[in-house]
Amino acid sequence: MDLDSLKALLPDAVGQARQHMGEERDAFEEMINAKLDEHLKALDRLKDKQYKQLDLLYTDPKKISKKDQARREIDRTFDDFFDWVQDTMSTEKNSYIQVIAVLKGI
């Protein structure tokens, strides 16, 4: 078996695989972006409801520092969750390709 000729084909094979994976990723991103936007909007609505609840709980001006602390905690919690949702519902732009076998017709 002539391994040198097979090795010479490797860059082209990897290039074609990258192109195919890029096209598949783009199609997936297009489909998932609508769901991602929907989830992020739902999180925004929930965050707004949390803020409104704070306004109802902390009406006394003396407790403004507690209200601010609670607001920062809500912000931190939602920021972490926003990051998690975006990380789990998106893909890396550059795919990792590993050649593990070569099939050759005779």
The reply to whether 99 falls in a domain is: no
Expressed as residue numbers, the domain containing 13 is: 3-88
State the pTM of this model. Answer: 0.63
The reply to whether 93 falls in a domain is: no
The reply to whether 106 falls in a domain is: no
Residues 6 or more apart whose CB falls under 8 angstroms from that of 71 comprise: 51, 54
The reply to whether 98 falls in a domain is: no
pLDDT digits (tens, 9 = 90+) for 37-83: 998 899 999 999 999 999 999 988 888 899 999 999 999 999 999 89
pLDDT at 101 over 90: no
The reply to whether 7 falls in a domain is: yes
The reply to whether 84 falls in a domain is: yes
Number of domain units in the chain: 1
